[in-house]
Amino acid sequence: MRTTILSFALHLLLTMVSFSQSFIDLNTPFSSKVRVLYMSNTSTLFAGGDIGFFKTTDLGQNWDTLLTENTRSIYIHNDSTWYLCTYSGIYKTTDSGEQWNPFGQSLPTSLVDDIAINKHSNSFFVATSLGVFKSTDEGNNWIITLNSSTSDNPNIECINDTIIFLGKSSSANFDNLFHSTNNGSNWEVVDLGSFRGRLYKTPGNILFLEYKALPPTRLYKSTNGGLNWLEFEDTFISSTAFGPWTDGINNSIIMAKMYWGNVGAHFILLFVSFDNFQTYTRYGQYSPLWASPSDLSESITSLTSNINEDIFAGLMNGTIRIISGISLTGIDDELVSNSTQFKLNQNYPNPFNPSTKISWQSPVSGWQTLKLYDVLGNEVATLVNEYRNAGSYEVEFKSAVSNRQLASGVYYYQLRVGDPSTGSGQGFVETKKMILLK
């Protein structure tokens, strides 16, 4: 039996891509779960947990206290406007985290776990101890749209006018997945049986559901706003827990995963994908901690990354760990084997200065537009606006637009395929993020 366990561990070591570069643990103000981590464009690290919300500009040598509230989650609306959910209500910043002010104070409960915004209708949705509340006037007034008892980790996501809420059923001690396709006016339960879970949304509007029922924990994926779910296959190793997700630079997605063996062998896995987990690279570390399998003190509970491709992981025990040596940028060199698919590739290089290339594939002929926007949604440049035949294309973008140099920061490029004059301009639309770094 012992030989079998050791052989299994050796097999894991040989088949994982290891964290071969470095781990560094920062000094932190926490002694328990780090729920929130966010690295801003100014290289300021923000962190939140039970004892409050903090920031550091020197990688943990010094921390500034921003709030002393029990911090639950953060919502990044754009580069400057963020929302922080706490057990003392919601806080908002409009200057990238420098100043925080109460938001939505007319909510009938201060126990707020999560927030989502429908940008089409400027509707705010919050997951609270009393259920889901909605505001259409910037948080001044709220109406309850869904009664649901509190959950351990209620959370809410928005994809266009579709709202997905994960909360505890009022009649049993398990979670229900609620689904609204009309901006929260009506709700239906997605029947997935009895489970405990957590929702994650990628920048490509793909939903993943951590599904805890019987071991091992499973992961489900939805590409249609949570209406239908299919199990996400990964036969590498069964999971005790899936950790948080985050989007890094170059439109990469980072996912954490945990496994405990029968003898306490501890496996930490990170998955990095550039295509919403159609494909991914697996990284891992084997740690013989010889602790109880129920001891998850080093579980990854929050993630963020910086432009240097460092990953910052918040742990259950309050540690914040820098993981270096995992590539979060590079050419998106996935071969497109199916010529019937639309595909907008990640720009390369990214970050860039002074120029970058954007490529895409369209399986149909039609009017094609490729436009650049700033973080406020203002159009910055039109790179393509013409009828093109089906095929693959590439354009070069330079940071000087109409003899004006663009400022460093985050920009978005959007491809539309179709003929706007005939009303078919919505045939294909995809948006990706790029970074100009001078």
Residue-range domain boundaries for the chain? 12-324, 343-436
**CATH code, 12-324:** 2.130.10.10
Task: Identify the pLDDT of residue 391.
Answer: 81
CB 226 within 8 A of CB 206: no
Torsion of CA 26, 29, 32, 34, to 10 degrees: -60
Task: Identify the pLDDT of residue 148.
Answer: 78
The model's pTM is: 0.71
- What is the fold, at CATH topology level, of the domain defined by 343-436? Immunoglobulin-like (2.60.40)
| Residue 73 CB neighbour total at 10 angstroms | 20
CB 283 within 8 A of CB 272: yes
CB 297 within 8 A of CB 316: yes
Task: Identify the pLDDT of residue 83.
Answer: 98
Task: Identify the pLDDT of residue 233.
Answer: 66
Task: Identify the pLDDT of residue 126.
Answer: 96
Measured CA distances, 411 to 111, 358, 374, 381, 435 (Å): 34, 13, 5, 11, 6
Task: Identify the pLDDT of residue 124.
Answer: 97
Measured CA distances, 315 to 136, 161, 194, 257, 332 (Å): 36, 34, 28, 12, 30
Low-confidence stretches of the chain (pLDDT < 50) are: 1-21, 235-236, 286-293, 330-339, 421-426
Q: 174: which DSSP letter?
A: S
CA angle in degrees (0–180, nearest 5) for 316-317-319? 100
Task: Identify the pLDDT of residue 129.
Answer: 81
By CB atoms closer than 10 A (0-12, 13-18, 19+), residue 419 is middle
Task: Identify the pLDDT of residue 259.
Answer: 67
Residues facing residue 361 across a β-bridge: 343, 392
Task: Identify the pLDDT of residue 336.
Answer: 35
- State how far the Cα of 312 lies from the Cα of 60, in Å rounded to an integer: 12
Nearest Cα to Cα of residue 430 among 352, 359, 340, 337: 359
| Residue 33 CB neighbour total at 10 angstroms | 18
SS3 3: helix
- State how far the Cα of 48 lies from the Cα of 83, in Å rounded to an integer: 13
